[in-house]
Amino acid sequence: MTSLPVSISRVSDPLKNQRLLGQLNADQVALQRSFDQMSTGLRVSKVSDDPAAAGRAITLQRGISRSEQLSRNANVTRSFYSATDRALSTLGDLLIDVRGISVEAAQNVLTSDERESLAATIDQAVRTAVSSANSVFRDHQLLGGHLQSQSALAFKDSHVVFQGNEAVGQTFTSGYSPIAIGVSGTESFGLASPIASSPSLQPAIYDDTSLSDLRQGRGVSTGIIRVSGGGDWVELDLRTASTVGDVINAFEGLNLDGRSLDVTLTPDGLTIDFADGLGGSLVVDDMPGGKMAADLSILNVAGFSPTPIVATNLSPRLSLTTPLGQLAGGAGINVSAGIQIRRGADTFTVDLSAAQSIGDVLVAINRSGADVRAEIDPSGQGILVRGLASGADYSIGENGGTAAGQLGIRSATRTVPLDDLNGGLGVTLSQLGPDLIIERTDGGTLEFELEGVKTVGQVIDMINNHLGNQTAPRVTATLNRFGNGITLSAPANTQLLSVSVGNTSNAAVALGLVPEGQTQRLGTSAGGVVSVVGTDYAPRHPGGAIDTLIRLAAAVRDGNPAVIESLQRQLDVDRETVNQVRGRVGLWTQDLDRMQEVADDTVIDLKAQLSQEVDADIAKVITDITARQTSQEASLKLIAQSARMSLLDFL
């Protein structure tokens, strides 16, 4: 604290009074500031008090606000985790109870009333499971997907339809990486599992292929490429390029010492050469810091590689705009005949006659009304179709053409293993005699033993290649033209074509050629051809706990011990899935506790630093007040004395 000295020189009264009043005002301002610090506890209450400290305080306050928000986020997320765990716990306990019921139901000595009572108990378990899956916390679906306005599951006829999505909300609780605030119904309840998944549809590169879709979705980093034909460098600014066509136009627009370039697309890359075909040195390099040429696999830094420059393995990923004509390595596919989707007893025909792109196909399937969801698979190379109706048997087949097969989503193909037939129970083979018997239209008999046969396609080939089936009227086995199954056909003759089960074998039934509970099926004659049109031998299930419960209730009512035992194993799988998800939520909760502890500790540390910057030292403030009051009192006394002085005081 400073004060003006009392003047002992001869000065005018106005100047002396001005100096004393200035000192008095300074003391008054300092006292007021000290009183403000005393009342507020703050040394810095506005930026002008201490600009440097105020700047640091603003940064600290921002950090405190963020850490406090992270802590609040952690509290809310912990509540979501707790609610999710309760919902999953309900399902887990339910599956344990139903597992015990299934053991009792697998007995053959139960009456129909007892089976109905057990099935009714399982029906109630289904309703409880649906209620659990529809749990809502703070207006958010716990398992039905984020921003989902309707219930995740709804009863529809004898099925339970998934109306939700797989989106999971995220929040920040530490750092800059978001964490999930819950789990989806697909991973916890097994809802909306794929019923068909295609292999790679082999999309080929074309002019409108997005650069971001190349390299299996990793994309190409745009930048500046420099090119030389042996003379001066020419720069290609491709920073705004978005498609392969943009790159082609840029290269073909070059003039390298009077020579132009020609770019040719291949299914999986491109070729760059001099348009005159005379060869020469073609150098392609990235500008410093760029990597576009490297990403496009056209890097030829020293020009050592002779022309043409061949880029391969650009492997574009499938997108909604990919034309059907660019699939199958550029050969294209024809889906104009459409496909059939069977859900339970209902058949839905999907019209694809106007489809031009993958997006058109997916939209048509999703709007079919069959309670399915078609999408591009995570690999970006094929498509998958999810079944949304738990308890329903699904089948995707042809509609007179080959669209389902070309799209790779036909559910019953030649490659289906025999072990997957009969609801996953496989085929029971005969120990004595044939497994499958076919009576030709001329009265000849074809017998087949399926020992060692692995797939449906091998059965079809056995029928077509049987030694007794090489002369007219031959029996021809093919996949159904409509829907799914196996069709046996032969020219009309003295009797109808027929298929019979073998001794103790269920192969004919499992292959869909003979109805369940029967031993023989006769063909029908039309247009001089007798045909046995089989049913789908590989229906697909949506999967998941609720689907298992619905099927178990039906098996208990039917008194089918083999199916019940198979579903018991599936119950164990479903329960293990629930336990794994609960365990994951538990680990998330532990991590959340640690992250919140870090956030709380950070708040404490930042507040301590903020206190050092802006809080007042009360002891120092009291000392300053005492000193200022003393200075002020002295100034007042001097002013009073000055007011009493006369001319005699200066003599």
pLDDT at 637: 76
The tokens for 616 are 């007042």
417: cis peptide before it, omega within 30°?
A: no
Rounded average pLDDT over 588-617: 87
Q: How far apart are CA 285 and CA 228, in angstroms?
A: 9
Q: Which of 481, 493, 491 is nearest to 533 (CA)?
A: 481
Give DSSP secondary structure letters for 300-318. BSSS-SPSSEEE----PPP
Residue 30 pLDDT exceeds 80? no
CB 571 within 8 A of CB 552: yes
Placement of tokens 């001066």 in the chain: 232
pLDDT at 648: 57
Q: How far apart are CA 137 and CA 118, in angstroms?
A: 33
Q: What is the strand order of the sheet 194-197 is part of?
A: 194-197, 383-387, 372-376
226 - beta bridge partners? 235, 285
CB 408 within 8 A of CB 194: no
Question: Structural domain boundaries of the chain?
Answer: 1-41+616-651, 63-188+575-600, 211-311, 332-407, 418-533
Of the listed ranges 392-396, 408-412, 634-638, the least confidently predicted one is 634-638
Q: How far apart are CA 99 and CA 83, in angstroms?
A: 25
Rounded average pLDDT over 336-356: 96
Q: Is 280 helix (H, G, I), strand (E, B) or coil?
A: coil
Q: How far apart are CA 13 and CA 647, in angstroms?
A: 11
HEC string for 366-382:
HCCCCCEEEEECCCCCC
CB 226 within 8 A of CB 335: no
Type and span of the H or E element at 581: helix 561-614
Q: How far apart are CA 23 and CA 20, in angstroms?
A: 5
Helix axes 112-133, 51-105, angle to 10 degrees: 170
24 - beta bridge partners? none
Rounded average pLDDT over 158-183: 86
Strands 524-526 and 309-311: unpaired
- β strands within 246-291, DSSP E: 261-266, 269-274, 283-286
Q: How far apart are CA 588 and CA 562, in angstroms?
A: 40
pLDDT at 23: 73
Using CA atoms, how far residue 518 sits from 436, 521, 525, 556, in Å, is 13, 8, 21, 22
Q: Which of 360, 359, 267 is nearest to 319 (CA)?
A: 359
286 - beta bridge partners? 225
How does the average pLDDT of the chain come out, rounded? 90
- Say if pTM beats, i.e. exceeds, 0.75: yes
HSE-up (13 A, CA, CB side) for residue 523: 28
pLDDT category, 645, cuts 50, 70, 90?
A: low
pLDDT category, 9, cuts 50, 70, 90?
A: low
- β strands within 527-636, DSSP E: 529-533
CB 236 within 8 A of CB 227: yes
pLDDT category, 644, cuts 50, 70, 90?
A: low
pLDDT at 304: 83
Q: How far apart are CA 190 and CA 175, in angstroms?
A: 32
Rounded average pLDDT over 338-360: 96
Q: How far apart are CA 592 and CA 74, in angstroms?
A: 6
Rounded average pLDDT over 139-154: 84
Q: Which of 206, 237, 465, 241 is nearest to 331 (CA)?
A: 206
CATH of 63-188+575-600, one of 3.40.50.2000, 3.40.50.2030, 1.20.1330.10, 3.10.580.10: 1.20.1330.10
CB 98 within 8 A of CB 556: no
Q: Which of 614, 622, 610, 623 is nearest to 50 (CA)?
A: 614
Q: How far apart are CA 369 and CA 243, in angstroms?
A: 36
Type and span of the H or E element at 603: helix 561-614
pLDDT at 31: 75
Residue 564 pLDDT exceeds 70? yes
99 - beta bridge partners? none
Placement of tokens 């027929």 in the chain: 498
Question: What are the φ and ψ backbone dihedral angles of 465, each rounded to 5 degrees?
Answer: -105, 5
Burial class of residue 45, CB neighbours in 10 A (0-12, 13-18, 19+):
middle
Q: What is the strand order of the sheet 269-274 is part of?
A: 261-266, 269-274, 309-311
Q: What percent of the chain has pLDDT over 70?
A: 96
pLDDT at 10: 62
Identify the DSSP state of 283.
Answer: E
All residues at 6 or more sequence positions from 244 whose CB lies less than 8 Å from its CB, including other chains: 205, 206, 207, 208, 209, 211, 214, 265, 270
pLDDT category, 11, cuts 50, 70, 90?
A: low
pLDDT at 21: 75
Type and span of the H or E element at 196: strand 194-197
Q: How far apart are CA 241 and CA 245, in angstroms?
A: 9
pLDDT category, 51, cuts 50, 70, 90?
A: confident
